[in-house]
Amino acid sequence: MAEYALEINNLQKVYDNNVVALKGIDLKVQKGDFYALLGPNGAGKSSTIGIIGSLVTKSAGKVSVFGNDIDTDLNKAKSMLGVVSQEINFSQFEKVLDIVVTQAGFYGIPKSIAMPKVENILKRLSLWDKRNDQARTLSGGYKRRLMIAKALIHEPQLLILDEPTAGVDIELRREMWSFLKEINKNGTTIILTTHYLEEAEQLCRNIGIIDKGTIVANTSMKDLLGTLNVQGFVFDLDQPLEEAPVIEGFPLKLEDPLTLVAAVNKDRSINALFSELTKLNIKIKSMRNEANRLEELFIEMVNANEN
Amino acid sequence: MKTNFNVTVSLWTLTVKEVRRFLRIWVQTLVPPAVTMSLYFVIFGSLIGPRIGSMDGFDYIQYMIPGLIMLSVITNSYNNVVSSFYSVKFQKSIEELLISPMPNWTILLGFVLGGVCRGVLIGIIVFGVSLLFYPDFTVANPLLTVTVLFLTSILFSLMGFINAVFADSFDDISIIPTFILTPLIYLGGVFYSINILPDVWRSISMANPMLYVVNTFREGMLGVSDVSISFSLGMIITFILVLSVSCLYLLKKGTGIRQ
């Protein structure tokens, strides 16, 4: 039994135009994990996913999906893998139902066996009512759902999603999160790339950050966020302020007259801040964490790699 | 995956997808050859044909029928595969195939079978149209006719596949059919026997591969040919084998489809 859902060793990619996309990355994703692979544009995320899914030819290195080396057991590896690409990659002129049934057929699943699965997944993704619509008539959000339905129809054990919620409205994004959490809970290992760092923070247990073709961080989300020394809090005020109060040890800034933002060091108690605010007769209506903690770390790490 | 991979299902799926594609756009794929060939039969067969007289002992319209069927079969088989495979590259739906566990030979065969289905269907349609203008037509050698029909369709489907693999734009998929394929077919004995040409042009015509395809089919339908049938069949089969190996090599290498 393979120990990892995905194992990458010294993966390198140099394109024909001599662009070096991957400089020998190593990555291991545990079975059942929900893993975030983050990085700025051009960092090498899509090249990595392309190589795993056989859409890009690697220059060197090893990739195994559930222990199946893509050089020697490619078809086994492919059978266990589902990929939701960044760009729409289905025929826009076919009907939704035909697209998913055809995809099942490409995995050797006859229509008679595929149909109950297709019905189930299209219903789960709210696409069943649109099953006879041509794909080109779907909105962007429904096209994204169709991409996910296609990738899941052969019940892959590893699902890779390359920016699945790009350009998707908040409601649909939340729906997708709930769906992905559910299939992960049911045993599917998920690797996600996204530019919405809040998404990674909400969904993923482990995280890899890639920049300029190298992995700059590969750890658990909890440990990574634990490295933050300062946490931001946003206070909604009862009465407007003209300027931010000055409280020693708690840098404060006023976003607008009714919104105060505080940076609280990990070794300080937030109760002390509340006491000081009460002394100044500043009443707080509500409080939330400043979005986005992961974003700060991400920028910090990518900047460090720049230098 | 809980279901074992079944290669027959994947091949069937791709073939059905390809057939469904050209049937969905039947106004663009099935009707034009019928209309164009009807015009050929009216103008060259019924109006001008009687003034030309006979060709190799046959009425001119009767002589034209095999050539026009081949013209339609070749262009439609080629165009089906070149446009379909280039479209899946262009729309990126090629990724659906590349990510799946389908072996390369099933991908190639699926597209070729799509081209063959359209080519053969067009051949039947044009033959049906020709019977409206020459109802007494009888096929001299049905086995040879059907064999050449299928082999020709396979051959030009493979050529269309290679064109699509290397194509980077829609211009690239129309250049070869327009500027190479069609002129060679027209000069390959569709409308005339090379026996009526001066010696020089007859020798030059012998270098045109379309001449062999058209005349082998004419041998099947009418029982006359300007070339050796065994040599022609041998060359068609050889080219099919060479092109099949070339296509599989290109797929394995990922030319035009993998970065």
Mutate to test the interface with B, among A106, A150, A155 (most CBs of B within 10 A): A106
When mean pLDDT is compared across A199-203, B142-146, B159-163, B246-250, the lowest value belongs to A199-203
Comparing A110-119, A163-172, A243-252, B98-107, the range with the smallest average pLDDT is A163-172
pLDDT in tens, A38-69: 888 888 888 999 999 989 999 999 999 999 99
| pLDDT at residue B48, as a whole number | 87
Q: Which residue reads 């073939």 in tokens?
A: B15
Between CA A163 and CA A215 the distance in angstroms is 18
* E strand or H helix at A275: helix A270-279
Interface contact B124, partner A, CB < 8 A: no
In angstroms, the CA B118 to CA A6 distance is 43
In sequence order, the 6+-apart residues with CB closer than 8 A to the CB of B169 are none
Contacts of B99 in chain A (CB under 8 A): 53-55, 78, 81, 83
H-state helical runs in chain B: 7-24, 26-29, 31-40, 49-52, 60-90, 94-99, 104-133, 142-166, 172-176, 182-185, 199-205, 209-222, 229-253
Please determine, for residue A191, whether its predicted confidence score (pLDDT) is greater than 90.
Answer: yes
* Chain CA centroid to CA B78, Å: 6
pLDDT for residue A167 is more than 80: no
Contacts B24 to A, Cβ<8 Å: 93
The 10 Å CB-count burial string (b at 16+, else e) for A253-283 is ebeeeeebebebeeeeeeeebeebbeeeebe
* Angle made by CA atoms B24, B30, B33, in degrees to the nearest 5: 155
Q: Is B252 near chain A, with CB under 8 Å? A: no
Looking at the predicted structure, is the pLDDT value of residue A227 above 80? no
So what's the pLDDT on residue B1? 44
Query: Looking at residue A14, what is its pLDDT?
Result: 93
Q: How far is CA A218 from CA A9, A50, A211, B176, in A?
A: 14, 20, 12, 51
Tokens describing residue B237: 């089969």
DSSP β-bridge partners for residue A193: A162
Task: Report chain B's mean pLDDT, rounded to a whole number.
Answer: 91
Which positions in chain A touch B13 (Cβ < 8 Å)? 102, 105-106
Average pLDDT over residues B35-52: 88
User: Nearest C-alpha of chain B: how many angstroms from A221?
Assistant: 29
Question: What confidence tens digit (pLDDT) does each residue in B127-148 have?
Answer: 999 999 989 899 999 999 999 9
Q: Which of A53, A91, A102 sits opposite B99 (nearest CB)?
A: A53
Comparing CA positions, the residue from B132, B111, B21 lying closest to residue A93 is B21
Tokens of A253: 């800034």
Q: Where in chain A is the domain with CATH 3.40.50.300?
A: 4-225
Q: Is the Cβ–Cβ distance between A233 and A287 less than 8 Å? A: yes
**B1 DSSP assignment:** -
Q: What is the ipTM of this complex?
A: 0.85
- Spatial distance between the Cα atoms of B74 and B122, rounded to a whole number of angstroms: 10
Element (H, E) at A176: helix A170-185
Vertex A153 angle, CA B256 and B105, to 5°: 35
Write down the pLDDT at residue B182. 87
Least confident piece of the model among A81-90, B36-45, B189-198, B232-241? B189-198
Q: Do A15 and B259 touch (CB under 8 A)?
A: yes
Question: What string of DSSP letters covers A197-219?
Answer: HHHHHHH-SEEEEEETTEEEEEE
Answer yes or no: do A75 and B92 touch at CB < 8 A.
no
* Residue A123: other Cβ atoms inside 10 A: 12
- Distance between CA A111 and CA A103 in Å, rounded? 10
- Please tell me the distance from the alpha carbon of residue A32 to that of residue A24, in angstroms, as a whole number: 25
Q: What radius of gyration do chain B's Cα atoms show?
A: 19
Cα A293 to Cα A259, A263, B182: the distances in Å are 18, 12, 65
The whole-angstrom separation of Cα B190 and Cα B200 is: 19
Question: Who's near A60: CB < 8 A, 6+ residues apart?
Answer: A10, A11, A12, A24
Backbone angles phi, psi at A245, to 5 degrees: -70, 155
Q: How confident is the model at residue A306 (pLDDT cuts 50, 70, 90)?
A: low
- Domain ranges across chain B: 10-253
Chain B residues 2-61 with CB within 8 Å of chain A? 2-7, 9-10, 12-14, 16-17, 20, 24
Question: How many C-beta atoms surround the C-beta of residue B246 within 10 A?
Answer: 14
Residue B2 has pLDDT above 60, yes or no: no
Q: How far is CA A234 from the centre of its chain?
A: 25
Residues of chain B contacting A89 with CB distance shorter than 8 Å: 91-96
Burial class (CB in 10 A: 0-12, 13-18, 19+), A247: middle
The single residue listed with the structure tokens 């025929």 is: A91
Compute the distance between CA of residue A286 and CA of residue A241 in angstroms, rounded to an integer: 16
Helices A140-152 and A96-106, interaxial angle, to 10°? 30
| Superfamily holding A229-306 | Alpha-L RNA-binding motif (3.30.70.1560)
pLDDT at residue number A307: 59
Which of B116, B132, B110 has its CA nearest to residue B38? B132
Pairing label, strands A259-265, A252-256:
antiparallel
- Partner-chain contact A53 B2, CB within 8 Å: no
| Residue spans in chain A of domains classed CATH 3.30.70.1560 | 229-306
The CATH superfamily assigned to A4-225 is P-loop containing nucleotide triphosphate hydrolases (3.40.50.300)
Please tell me the predicted confidence (pLDDT) of residue B3.
42
Residues A135 and A94 sit within 8 Å (Cβ to Cβ): yes
Coil, helix or strand for B67? helix
Task: Give me the pLDDT at residue A296, please.
Answer: 65
pLDDT of res. A209: 87
Question: pLDDT per residue over B213-235, tens digit each?
Answer: 998 999 999 998 888 899 989 98
Q: Is A109 within 8 Å of B3 when comparing Cβ atoms?
A: yes
Instruction: Give φ, ψ of B101 to 5 degrees.
Output: -80, 15
Separation between Cα atoms, residue B107 and residue B90, nearest integer Å: 17
Mean pLDDT throughout B152-163?
95
pLDDT tens string A120-164: 999 988 899 999 999 999 988 889 899 999 999 999 999 999 888
Q: Mean pLDDT throughout A113-119?
A: 93
The backbone region for B30, taken as left when phi is positive above 0, alpha when psi lies in -120 to 50, beta otherwise, is alpha
